[in-house]
Every structure is written in C-alpha cells, then in structure tokens.
C-alpha cells in the first residue's frame, strides 16, 4: 500500500495518476476534509483504496501508527502549504515542518519508504547556486516563509543524519494538468493561457539588469509528467537516498515559453513587458537551473520532454478542453 499526502493537489494527484498507469490501485490519498471542486476533479477518474482527512490522519500516526506496517510500502509526502506569500509562520511550522517530522519518524520506525517534497524555494536568490549537495544546506537562505519551512526540515534531516535513509525532492518550476485549483500559485503557462484567451496578449516583467533583455530572464521549467516520473524513480530503489533536484536541468527564457504557448494556440506571439513591482525588484530571480547530475548519477536516464512539446501537450490536450489527468 502507498500513501500519498497532498494527493488531491497538483503533484500529488499526478502521482496517483502515474501509479494507476502502472497498475497500482492500492493507494491511500491524504488531503483536506473539504476539497474544492477542482481538487475533486483531480481525483474523479483515479483509482484509490481510501481517502483520509489530513488532520485525523496525522493524529492517528502520532497516537498509534497508521496500519499494519507490513501493508505500508511507502509514504510519498507532497502535502504542505505551498503558498510563497503565506505570512503565518506558526501555521507553516506546524503544517509543513512538524507534520513532515512526524511522518518521517513514523516511516523510519516502521521501515516504510519515505519520499518528501522539499522545494527549489530553499535556494533563495540563487546566489549559492542550485546544487543539491547536502554540504550546502546550511548556507541556503530562502526568500519567503514557505521556503524557510522546507529548508528547516532539510536541515533537521541532515543534522539528525537521516538523509541516507529518506528521499527529499526539490521541485523547480513544474507546470501541467491538475493545477487549476492553485490560484495565484498556478504556473505561468496556465496564467498566460488565460491572459491570451482574454486579451490576445501575454504579459511578462521587464528586465532591470543589463545582461538580460526583457523576457530573457530564465527559469528551469519542468512538465508534470516528467516530475512524477522522476519522483517514482525512487519508489523501488531503496538504496538511493538523499536530497535531489527535480528539474529539466536547462534554464530557458520566458520569451521561449511564451512563444511555445502562442504556437500551441496557433497564434502569432504578442508579448507585453510591464514594470515589476518595486518590492519584487530586489528579490527577483533572473536565472534558475537545476543541477540534475546527482539524479542522473543515481541512475535516472530517461530523456526530459522538450519545453515546446510539453507546452503543446498541456495546452491542446488539457487547457483547451479543461480536462484533468485520467
């Protein structure tokens, strides 16, 4: 049996979809008690063994454990508040940090595979680079409380010498179907699709650094189908542990992403560059690129879907019909 926390969310529901494609239906999904309609749609066509509310679930873990350990193969912990603008530090410490610690301890005590979502937000402004080496964990300075909550767990696992027993995954800019519910945390692909439908244009921030032209700031974009494939790579490889970047390994310009979206829609590119808010100028990342050499060295040898192909699949097969992974 596999437990997927945050299993009605973006990456979580995509993992359930991928497991179903492998023939796995022995999946317990853990998420909120009252799901939005879009989150319900994420699960509507998927096969589960059970669905549990996240609060009673963690209380049961704390009191007496989840179930007979011989039936629990793995916990894939994607559940967290992923809002980078969240300002309630106490909530994030309990919901992201303490919750993850409790699950981790349970899994280690019961010999259950533990795979958890860290975040590329732990890299902060990128000045320390994007290496997933455990040696740099203590030097990283996240720019927001969400990133801090993820960084604290990575550091706790390192300080307690647990990183050779568990897997932490730092997801970069993941986009794709099943993210409709994410509000302001939706990917730029989804936001741009909606902008283009409404106005015919796509808006991008102007650049304020001479070495980057407008729209040439770069991000490491990764399609959800590649992200879940990378995640499930670790499920049966019990000898592979540690923190790993999950990205394409290529920083690509916003303009390139924009052109791919317009092409998928059969439209001529029309990009409007607008002023960045003053409060963002000092914190804006001009370049991100995951170092995925550690993942490759661990044995992940599949090719990563090119950006244009990923965008075309997302736009034409999911956004236009407003469909979910099924």
Determine how β-strand 113-117 pairs with β-strand 27-31: unpaired
HSE-up (13 A, CA, CB side) for residue 251: 15
Distance CA(216)–CA(253), nearest Å, equals: 5
Is 146 among the catalytic positions? yes
Other beta carbons within 10 Å of 29: 25
Is 128 among the catalytic positions? no
Which letter, b or e, does each residue of 252-270 get, where b requires 16 or more Cβ atoms within 10 Å of its Cβ?
bbbbbbbbbbbebbeeeee
Distance CA(248)–CA(45), nearest Å, equals: 28
Query: DSSP letter at 127?
Result: T
Query: Of the residues 116, 146, 223, 318, which is catalytic?
Result: 146
Query: DSSP letter at 70?
Result: G
Nearest to 154 by CA among 73, 142, 144: 142
Query: Of the residues 101, 155, 182, 263, which is catalytic?
Result: 182
Distance CA(179)–CA(190), nearest Å, equals: 8
Nearest to 119 by CA among 73, 86, 164, 160: 86
Length of the chain as a residue count: 326
Nearest to 172 by CA among 230, 133, 127: 230
Distance CA(52)–CA(211), nearest Å, equals: 50
Residue 119, Cα to own-chain centre: how many angstroms? 7
Distance CA(325)–CA(225), nearest Å, equals: 10
Catalytic residues: 146, 182
């Amino acid at each position: 049996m596999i437990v997927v926390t945050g299993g009605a969310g973006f990456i979580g529901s995509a993992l359930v979809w991928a497991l179903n494609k492998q023939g796995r239906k022995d999946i317990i999904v853990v998420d909120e008690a009252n799901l939005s309609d879009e989150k319900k749609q994420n699960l509507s066509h998927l096969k589960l063994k059970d669905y549990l509310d996240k609060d009673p679930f963690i209380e049961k873990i704390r009191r007496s454990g989840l179930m007979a350990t011989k039936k629990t193969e793995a916990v894939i912990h994607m559940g967290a508040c992923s809002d980078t603008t969240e300002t309630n530090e106490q909530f994030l410490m309990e919901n992201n940090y303490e919750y993850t610690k409790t699950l981790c301890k349970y899994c280690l005590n019961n010999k259950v595979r533990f795979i958890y979502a860290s975040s590329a937000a732990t890299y902060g402004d990128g000045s320390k680079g994007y290496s997933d080496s455990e040696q740099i964990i203590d030097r990283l300075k996240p720019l927001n409380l969400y990133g801090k909550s993820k960084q604290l767990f990575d550091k706790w696992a390192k300080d307690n010498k647990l990183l050779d027993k568990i897997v932490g995954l730092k997801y970069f800019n993941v986009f794709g179907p099943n993210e409709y519910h994410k509000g302001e945390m939706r990917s730029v692909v989804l936001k741009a699709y909606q902008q283009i439908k409404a106005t015919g244009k796509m808006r991008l921030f102007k650049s304020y650094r001479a070495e980057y032209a407008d729209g040439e700031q770069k991000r490491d974009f990764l399609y959800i189908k590649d992200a879940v494939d990378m995640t499930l790579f670790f499920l049966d490889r019990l000898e592979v542990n540690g923190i790993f970047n999950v990205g394409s390994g290529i920083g690509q310009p916003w303009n390139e992403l924009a052109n791919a979206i317009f092409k998928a829609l059969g439209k001529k590119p029309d990009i409007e560059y607008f002023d960045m808010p003053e409060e963002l100028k000092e914190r804006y990342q001009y370049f991100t690129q995951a170092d995925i050499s550690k993942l490759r060295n661990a044995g992940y040898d599949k090719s990563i879907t090119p950006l244009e192909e990923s965008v075309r699949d997302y736009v034409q097969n999911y956004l236009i019909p407003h469909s979910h992974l099924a």
